[in-house]
């Protein structure tokens, strides 16, 4: 077994911060586009292995990159990659759309970083009970551990092949983004962002006015291939209902702005989608009441005086961490958003409950229900602070962020437990990841979204933020402020969300024929051209899986991840370097960066 001292090495930390920081940019980019994010730990593990193998082969480093080093690196990268969960793709954009004001970078850094660190320390009591004693699955943690065993054991050849496909696909995605987005003195032409469907109109308007068309992008095709066919076809069904049926009818009736386009259509459809997501999420969560009860019992056992194993993260770290970061989050709630201290204290307390439930449900299902738990907070503070949308959003940001980061740490600790790693070193690895991810996300967000007017349109639809904004407005303004058709959509969407969850429970063997409530609801807050691309990607993945399961296992995730990473990072890089050095410098530096990473 490897020496436990060679885990959280300097090179593991640096590699994790760099890879996780870059992947957090990719997650930020795609989440602002489609409201979806992806795990980074397995991809980071494959890339780190390939990079260090190359460095060792070139004799630039003397010792190979060990399995436990890679595991520590994954913890750093995962924490960094999930920093978009601290509010930068949901609560913060929702607040910006409501107020019309941007959040200052330093405030954003302090805000998302403190929430993430509080979530990390709140995971400590859950670890020994849920992982050591109950042996909960945490499927992504198991997959990450198995990937590392394959990389550093017998499966190195196949894993290297996956890394190669990921790198090649990233370069393809980056090249496409360069052709589409970068214009220089020597390259005066660019690919169009959207391609219309020619010769077809609805209510006298071209389909592209209803956001129905094709994108010159591989990001959403890759996202669809990864997300699965059920979610993709559910979104496609919702997009056809929303943009091909409801939007033309609303346009002819004069209910929505005659300019059409995503911004004006979603101003109405968000009520149908938000209510569907709200009711389905809360009902699904209610059906997991046994998991909630077991979660509370398990944390009680962790505090019940059972002696911890040697090498475990001491419980005293939880108490000190909570005493440091809990008041810090409460102070920031008051200083930044004017939230009273007692409401801040309540949000931190609810955050601990959220962390318990999020860790348990993630361990059992591999899905972290932060959306549903955040909505519970929104409803709670909608009653405690009626009319105050900022309090509503940012307290829910606290609880959702704490739960997400706690569940992420336990997923990483599951990998470490299987590989016999040191949990204390993984705990500190999360801190380095939070730091790297916070810096990366804040810098990129403020360059990509320089002002609040950029949000909610074709460029940055921010579907996740649309849902948070819709719930906050509904709780603050009441139903009377809405158009009668929007009120009806709110009720109908809520009933559909409930019905779909009940059908899933009643007919589990036919679940793949029942629309996914999350997918269907998200379609009403996502542009149609995004959904069309995701559906195409899901169809490609389905055909590949049917025709050649072995080949699909080898190609789908690496190629899709490469497209997403390459194109989104080129987009972020182009924006950053344009901001810093002008268009020509942007093109040259970004190409050099990507070819360097690809090599």
Residue 477 pLDDT greater than 80, yes or no: no
Residue 309 pLDDT greater than 70, yes or no: no
- Name the band, by pLDDT with cuts 50, 70 and 90, for residue 574: low
d(CA 115, CA 82): 12
Q: Is 462 exposed, middle or buried (0-12, 13-18, 19+ CB in 10 A)?
A: buried
Taking CA 77 as the corner, what is the angle to CA 155 and CA 538, rounded to the nearest 5 degrees? Answer: 65
CB 223 within 8 Å of CB 213: no
d(CA 232, CA 6): 43
Mean pLDDT (the chain) is 80
d(CA 159, CA 171): 19
How long a stretch of residues is the chain?
A: 599
In a domain, 537, yes or no: no
- For residue 455, list its beta bridge partners: 460
Q: Which domain holds residue 168?
A: 10-189+280-469+547-598
In a domain, 373, yes or no: yes
Highest mean pLDDT of the ranges 26-35, 146-155, 297-306, 542-551: 542-551
* H-helix or E-strand spanning residue 338: none
Residue 559 pLDDT greater than 50, yes or no: yes
Kindly give the residue spans of alpha helices, DSSP state H, lying in 35-151.
41-57, 67-81, 91-99, 105-122, 124-127, 139-151
Work out the widest C-alpha separation in the chain, in whole angstroms: 72
Of residues 125 and 529, the one with the higher pLDDT is 529
d(CA 173, CA 188): 20
Q: How many domains does the chain have?
A: 1
In a domain, 408, yes or no: yes
Look at residue 282 in the predicted model and tell me its pLDDT: 72
CB 357 within 8 Å of CB 316: no
Which of 238, 199, 273, 165 minimizes the C-alpha distance to 530?
238
Taking CA 95 as the corner, what is the angle to CA 93 and CA 96, rounded to the nearest 5 degrees? Answer: 60
Which of 186, 199, 194, 188 minimizes the C-alpha distance to 213?
194
Residue 142 pLDDT greater than 80, yes or no: no
Highest mean pLDDT of the ranges 24-28, 116-120, 478-482: 116-120
| Buried residues in 289-318 as b, exposed as e (16+ CB within 10 A) | eebbebbeebbebbeeeeeeeeebbeeeeb
In a domain, 376, yes or no: yes
pTM score > 0.85 for this model? no
- The 3-state DSSP composition of the chain as helix, strand, coil percent (nearest 5) reads 75, 0, 20
In a domain, 227, yes or no: no
CB 127 within 8 Å of CB 311: no
Which of 11, 45, 17 minimizes the C-alpha distance to 558?
45
Query: Which two tokens mark 243?
Result: 């943009």
Residue 66 pLDDT greater than 70, yes or no: yes
Query: Which two tokens mark 259?
Result: 């300019």
Percent of the chain at pLDDT > 70 equals: 84
Q: Give residue-wise pLDDT tens across range 356-383.
A: 777 776 776 556 666 666 777 787 888 8
Residue 520 pLDDT greater than 80, yes or no: yes
DSSP state of 205: E
Handedness of CA 414, 415, 416, 417 (dihedral sign): positive
Look at residue 472 in the predicted model and tell me its pLDDT: 85
Q: Give residue-wise pLDDT tens across range 286-307.
A: 776 665 566 555 555 555 555 4
d(CA 102, CA 104): 6
Look at residue 262 in the predicted model and tell me its pLDDT: 83
CB 571 within 8 Å of CB 563: no
Residue bearing tokens 């190359």: 54
In a domain, 455, yes or no: yes
DSSP state of 136: -
Residue 245 pLDDT greater than 90, yes or no: yes
Residue 571 pLDDT greater than 60, yes or no: yes
Look at residue 115 in the predicted model and tell me its pLDDT: 93
Q: Give residue-wise pLDDT tens across range 39-65.
A: 677 778 877 888 888 888 888 888 888
In a domain, 177, yes or no: yes
Q: Give residue-wise pLDDT tens across range 343-359.
A: 999 999 888 877 877 77
Look at residue 596 in the predicted model and tell me its pLDDT: 41
d(CA 243, CA 343): 40
Look at residue 589 in the predicted model and tell me its pLDDT: 43
SS3 for 142-182, per residue?
A: HHHHHHHHHHCCCCHHHHHHHHHHHHHHHHHHHHHHHHHHC
Look at residue 351 in the predicted model and tell me its pLDDT: 86
Taking CA 185 as the corner, what is the angle to CA 181 and CA 189, rounded to the nearest 5 degrees? Answer: 45
Residue 91 pLDDT greater than 50, yes or no: yes
Q: Give residue-wise pLDDT tens across range 215-244.
A: 888 888 887 887 778 888 998 999 999 999
In a domain, 176, yes or no: yes
Which of 478, 490, 277, 276 minimizes the C-alpha distance to 383?
478
- For residue 206, list its beta bridge partners: 201
Pairing of strands 205-206, 201-202: antiparallel
Q: Is 447 exposed, middle or buried (0-12, 13-18, 19+ CB in 10 A)?
A: middle
Chain centre distance of CA 246: 29
Of residues 575 and 538, the one with the higher pLDDT is 538
- Name the band, by pLDDT with cuts 50, 70 and 90, for residue 270: confident
SS3 388: coil
Chain centre distance of CA 280: 19
Q: Give residue-wise pLDDT tens across range 69-90.
A: 998 998 899 888 888 877 788 8
Look at residue 590 in the predicted model and tell me its pLDDT: 45
Residue 530 pLDDT greater than 50, yes or no: yes
Helices (H) and strands (E) in the chain, counts: 23, 4
Of residues 288 and 444, the one with the higher pLDDT is 444
Kindly give the residue spans of alpha helices, DSSP state H, lying in 420-548.
423-448, 463-477, 484-506, 517-523, 528-547
């Amino acid at each position: 077994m490897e020496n436990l001292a060679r885990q959280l090495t300097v090179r593991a930390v640096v590699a994790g911060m760099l890879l996780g920081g870059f992947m957090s940019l990719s997650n930020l980019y795609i989440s602002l586009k489609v409201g979806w994010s992806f795990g980074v730990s397995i991809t980071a593990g494959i890339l780190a292995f390939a990079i260090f193998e190359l460095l060792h082969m070139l004799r630039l480093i003397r010792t190979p990159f060990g399995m436990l080093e890679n595991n520590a690196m994954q913890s750093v990268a995962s924490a960094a990659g999930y920093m978009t969960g601290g509010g930068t793709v949901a609560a913060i954009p929702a607040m910006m759309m409501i107020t019309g004001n941007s959040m200052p970078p330093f405030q954003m850094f302090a805000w998302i970083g403190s929430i993430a660190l509080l979530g990390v320390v709140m995971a400590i009591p859950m670890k020994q009970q849920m992982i050591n004693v109950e042996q909960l699955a945490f499927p992504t943690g198991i997959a990450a551990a198995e990937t590392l065993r394959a990389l550093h054991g017998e499966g190195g050849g196949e894993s290297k092949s996956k890394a190669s496909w990921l790198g090649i696909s990233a370069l393809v995605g980056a090249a496409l983004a360069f052709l589409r987005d970068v214009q220089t003195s020597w390259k005066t032409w660019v690919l169009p962002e959207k391609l219309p469907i020619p010769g077809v109109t609805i209510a006298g308007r071209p389909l592209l006015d209803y956001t129905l068309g094709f994108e010159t992008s591989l990001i959403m095709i890759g996202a669809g291939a990864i997300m699965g066919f059920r979610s993709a076809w559910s979104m496609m069904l919702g997009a056809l209902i929303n943009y091909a049926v409801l939007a033309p009818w609303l346009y002819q009736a004069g209910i929505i702005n005659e300019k059409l386009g995503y911004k004006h259509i979603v101003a109405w459809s968000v009520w149908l989608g938000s209510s569907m997501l709200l009711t389905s999420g809360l009902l699904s969560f209610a059906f997991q009441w046994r998991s909630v009860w077991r979660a509370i019992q398990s944390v009680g056992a962790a505090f019940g005086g059972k002696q911890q194993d040697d090498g475990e993260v001491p419980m005293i770290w939880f108490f000190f961490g909570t005493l440091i970061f809990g008041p810090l989050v409460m102070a920031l709630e008051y200083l930044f958003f004017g939230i009273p201290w007692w409401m801040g204290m309540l949000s931190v307390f609810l955050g601990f409950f959220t962390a318990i439930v999020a860790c348990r449900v993630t361990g059992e299902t591999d899905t972290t229900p932060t959306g549903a738990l955040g909505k519970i907070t929104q409803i709670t503070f909608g009653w405690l602070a009626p009319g105050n949308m900022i309090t509503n959003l940012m307290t829910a940001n606290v609880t959702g962020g704490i739960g997400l980061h706690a569940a992420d740490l336990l997923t990483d600790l599951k990998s470490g437990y299987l590989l016999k790693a040191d949990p204390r070193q993984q705990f500190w690895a999360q801190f380095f990841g939070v730091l790297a991810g916070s810096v990366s996300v804040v810098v990129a967000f403020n360059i990509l979204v320089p002002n609040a007017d950029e949000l909610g349109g074709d460029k940055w639809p921010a579907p996740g933020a649309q849902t948070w904004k819709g719930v906050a407005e509904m709780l603050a303004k009441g139903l009377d402020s809405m158009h009668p058709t929007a009120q009806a959509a709110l009720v109908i969407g809520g009933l559909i969300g409930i019905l779909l969850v009940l059908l899933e429970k009643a007919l589990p063997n036919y679940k793949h024929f029942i629309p996914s409530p999350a997918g269907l609801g998200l379609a009403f807050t996502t542009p149609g051209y995004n959904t069309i691309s995701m559906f195409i990607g899901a169809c490609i993945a389905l055909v590949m899986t049917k025709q050649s399961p072995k080949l699909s296992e080898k190609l789908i995730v690496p190629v899709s991840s490469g497209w997403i990473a390459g194109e989104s990072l080129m987009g972020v890089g182009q924006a950053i370097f344009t901001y810093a050095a002008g268009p020509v410098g942007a093109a040259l530096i970004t190409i050099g960066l990507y070819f360097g990473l690809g090599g």
